[in-house]
Amino acid sequence: MSSVTGQVAYAGAPVAPKRANVFKRIFNHRNDYLYVLPALLVMLIVIAYPVYYTIELSFFKTPPNLQMKDKIFVGLDNYWAILKSDSFREVTINTAIWTVASTFFAFLLGLGAALSLHREFAGRGVMRAVLLIPYVVSAVAASYVWKWLYHSDFGVIGALAVQLGLSDKPINFLDNVHTVLPSLIVVNIWKEFSFAMIMLMAGLQTVPEQLLRAAQVDGANAWQRFWHVTFPHLKGVSMVTVLLLMVANFNSFIIPWIMTGGGPAGASDIWITQIYTIAFGRQRYGVASAYAVILFIVMMTLGYFYVKALTKGDESRAG
């Protein structure tokens, strides 16, 4: 066979247009900026100013009576105090366990649910609706329900464990420093896996049928088809889902606050509940602000990767 098409061979990545000066680009797009200006102004007032004020407060020792004119500049003392404290280490470890475990298992469960719902079977619509319930139920209501399910005297889970012979007495899930965090993580996974499921179900619809058929003819079994065709297709949506779950988990407040308030003995304290306790429990706004700034930096790092994952998808679609 002769050499083919007469088409120009692909020459690697497309050459990026020479980057113009930032100000010049803004000037060239001044009308576009004009259109987003109203939204930008509102955002500045409700987001940028609070962020700025939090950063400012983090450098001050603040009076508990909220008379902010009496605040005293202490430089980075608040930060040092937090970073050196034992509680910070514990809370950070809790937060890390909470975030990683919740994200990992919620994603895994969501993937399993999405894959099983992707096949045709009787009652699929009903199953899909049922599996969506955790996502639509209010977190506050769900937390109270789970608190009762876990209750050491009246809890259904403990009673079931006794009846099934798994335990000789009701289990004290929430008042035990060893079981409280895993118990809360279970609730969080239950609440979040539907979200991962929805995202991945949408992703699964984009896997081309012909590719799966080609793999079938090529001799791939069901697992190999998943690993070589389906999963690579889900990479983008998986990245986005994991990042969104991580952001949500770093920021979780409702489930730990309502179910345990961070207790017992700080065993279920994570960053957000800790910040809340410091600010509104102990009225130490400066320290709480410094704490919030640390969290903010972590979140912005995650956000950077999130936006990068999103725009990467755009580029490959455009290309």
Partner 1 sequence: MAQVVLKDVVKNYGNVYAVNHVSLTVEDGEFVALVGPSGCGKTTTLNLVAGLIPMSGGDVVIGDRIVTDLDPKDRDIAMVFQNYALYPNKTVYRNLAFPLQMRKLPKDEIDKKVQAAAKVLDITHLLERKPRELSGGQQQRVALGRALVRDPRVFLMDEPLSNLDAKLRVQMRSEIKRFHQDLHATVIYVTHDQLEAVTMADKMAVMNGGFLQQYDSPANVFANPVNMFVASFVGSPAMSLIPLAAVTRGTEVALTSPEGWELPLSPANARKALNAKSPKVVLGARHSTVKLHKSQVPGSVPGKVYTVEPTGDITFAQVFVSSAILNISLAPSVQIRPDEPVFIEFDQDKMHLFDGETEMALKAD
Site residues (vs partner 1, CB under 8 A): 1-5, 7, 10, 208, 210-211, 213-220, 224, 228-229, 232-233, 235, 319
Closer to partner 1 at the Cβ: 65 or 210? 210
Compute the C-alpha angle 95/100/102, nearest 5°: 95
> Minimum Å distance from CB 5 to partner 1?
4
Q: Rounded to whole angstroms, how far apart are CA atoms 51 and 299?
A: 13
Closer to partner 1 at the Cβ: 157 or 211? 211
> Minimum Å distance from CB 220 to partner 1?
5
Q: Return the structure tokens found at 47.
A: 């987001």
Q: Are 306 and 247 in contact (CB under 8 A)?
A: yes
Q: Return the structure tokens found at 203.
A: 């992703």
Closer to partner 1 at the Cβ: 1 or 16? 1
> Minimum Å distance from CB 181 to partner 1?
38
CA distances from 283 to 204, 208, 275, 293 (A): 49, 57, 10, 17
H or E segment to which residue 61 belongs: strand 60-61
Q: Rounded to whole angstroms, how far apart are CA atoms 107 and 82?
A: 32
> Minimum Å distance from CB 10 to partner 1?
4
Amino acid at 205: Q
Q: Are 152 and 170 in contact (CB under 8 A)?
A: yes
Q: Return the structure tokens found at 198.
A: 């929805």
> Minimum Å distance from CB 116 to partner 1?
21
Closer to partner 1 at the Cβ: 91 or 309? 309
Closer to partner 1 at the Cβ: 165 or 319? 319
